[in-house]
Amino acid sequence: MNTGHQPRKPELLAPAGNLEKCRLAFLYGADAVYAGGKEYNLRSYAGNLDTEELAEACALAHLLGKKLYITVNAFARESDLKALPAFLQYLLDLRVDGIIVSDPGVLALARRWTPDMPLHLSTQANTTNSLSVQFWKNQGVGRINLARELTFDELAAIRRTTEIELELFVHGAMCISYSGRCLLSAFLNNRSANRGLCTQPCRWSYSLVEEKRPGEYFPVREDSRGSYIFNSKDLCLLDHLGKLMALGIHAFKIEGRMKGALYLASVIRTYRQAIDRYWDAPETFQVDPGWREDLARVSHRPYTEGLLFSKSSAACQGVETTVSYVQSHTLAGIVRPAPQSRREASLFPANDGRDWTTIEVRSRLVPGMELHFLGKDGSTATHLLGDFQSISGDPLTVAHPNTWIRIPLSFGTFPHQVIRTPR
Ligand code: SF4
């Protein structure tokens, strides 16, 4: 397809719900991360970064030659407006690489108070056509995250009309409504999705109640386990990355600021490998079966290509699934740096000649369990857990979550490396 655009290597943009996730995202290959401050973003439960952590994340990004974007994408209320200029000024002083906005009022404030700040438009703005793209461009927006409801042909048509940076979600959970414009959670739980407080009631099981028969719940059968009439599958566009890269999409975005370390490491390294491999040799590019395995081993709903390549919204619905996620593996732990300080060193026994690796445990571990150490390059080293010790050298037969242990390994590891184990 001739779009009139030179293929460009897209930026891999990953979520960072906190500082540790920010480190992990960069470690596993993200070119940029998006994170929220404690205020004004749409993931109030995602942890988010306080002002010091934002500064640290920004310094880390720039040290690595990467980028940090800050989400300021809540739909602001009158009470939010007063403090917003100071927050925007703080972000400008930090030299973050852009802010992600949805609300035209927030956008107008940003233009007035921080005119040099690059502005990205959130998917919450539901940009679905080229005239909307032009409108937002005229408002000073430099990048637009297009609505997930678009088809590929619509995406290509928009691409042909503009040079503006276009960004697209390629992986992660989807709303069943127009990208978060949804009142379910606000009605049922008094927690508004547009304030970052969604409790995901679209994933709950529903029945039908006839007005005159209160208390009688009629199943709306979709399968024997229940009816998940609003339930969306998770987006996965791995198979279509080549087509999207040829189109000239500027950034591929991964959803999931509330997701954990295993999700981040697995998904980011998969898309990193895929983007690099396609970029180096588009003619011979093929999706590696190992990438699919990685994606299958994180907690997820059945995957869908979303509406981009399907004419039927039913293809996105998880109606044949239970409300729970598919989860074959879980986070076993994270490799931690060896102790540095004298006090720390005094806690550790002398090395007895074996190569010990320190691990922060995240799941209960016992001998005989298989541990997979996820490499940055897509490789995975497996270790069958044998003997292991507390960090002060006492032999252990069980390790509990949130404790630190050390184990002997026959291969190298690196700090913050993610370890998974079959459930
Ligand atoms: S309830 Fe579901 S569709 Fe609505 S905002 Fe939350 S996740 Fe999205």
**pLDDT surpassing 60 at residue 416:** yes
Q: Taking 60 as the threshold, does the pLDDT of residue 321 lie above it?
A: no
Q: Is the CB of 229 under 6 A from ligand 1?
A: no
Distance from the first to the final alpha carbon of the chain: 44
Give the number of the atom of ligand 1 that is nearest the alpha carbon of residue 181: 5
Centre of ligand 1 to C-alpha 147, Å, is 15
186-215 pLDDT, tens digit per residue, is 878 888 777 767 787 887 877 778 888 888
Q: List, for residues 273-298, the tens digit of each pLDDT value.
A: 999 999 999 999 999 999 999 999 99
Q: State pLDDT tens for residues 335-361.
A: 998 766 666 666 666 666 677 899 999
Model confidence at 59, in pLDDT bands (50, 70, 90)? Answer: very high
pLDDT top residue among 260 and 184: 260
Q: What is the mean pLDDT of residues 358-381?
A: 97
Query: Residue 303's closest CA among 295, 294, 314, 311?
Result: 295
211 alpha carbon – ligand 1 mean position (Å): 26
Return d(Cα 26, Cα 272) in angstroms, integer: 11
Max Cα–Cα distance, the chain, nearest Å: 76
Query: Is pTM beyond 0.85 here?
Result: yes
Q: Which residue is closest in CA terms to ligand 1's atom 8?
A: 175
Q: Which residue has the higher pLDDT, 217 or 180?
A: 217
More confident residue, 311 or 127: 127
Closest atom of ligand 1 to 201 CA is 1
Instruction: For a ligand 1 pocket test, name from 148, 188, 200, 259 the mutation site with the most ligand atoms within 8 angstroms of its C-beta.
Output: 200
Cα–Cα distance for residue pair 68/13, rounded to 1 Å: 9
pLDDT band with cut points at 50, 70 and 90 for residue 301: confident
| Signed CA dihedral, 144, 74, 46, 205: sign only | negative
Alpha carbon of 235 to ligand 1 centroid (Å): 15
**Predicted local distance difference test score (pLDDT) of residue 111:** 96
**How many angstroms separate the CA atoms of 337 and 329, rounded?**
24
What is the rounded distance in angstroms from the CA atom of residue 135 to the CA atom of residue 142? Answer: 12
Using one digit for the tens of pLDDT, what is the confidence trace for 61-73?
999 999 999 999 8
User: Which range has the worst mean pLDDT, 110-119, 134-143, 224-233?
Assistant: 224-233
What single letter denotes the amino acid at residue 81?
Answer: L
Q: What is the pLDDT of residue 291?
A: 96
Ligand 1 pocket mutation pick from 198, 204, 228, 313 by most atoms within 8 angstroms of CB: 198
Q: Is the pLDDT of residue 177 over 80?
A: no
Phi and psi torsions of 215, nearest 5°: 90, -10
**Residue nearest to ligand 1 atom 6, measured at CA:** 200
Q: Is ligand 1 within 6 A of the CB of residue 175?
A: yes
Confidence at residue 112, expressed as pLDDT on a 0 to 100 scale: 95
* C-alpha to C-alpha distance for 227 and 129, rounded to whole angstroms: 34
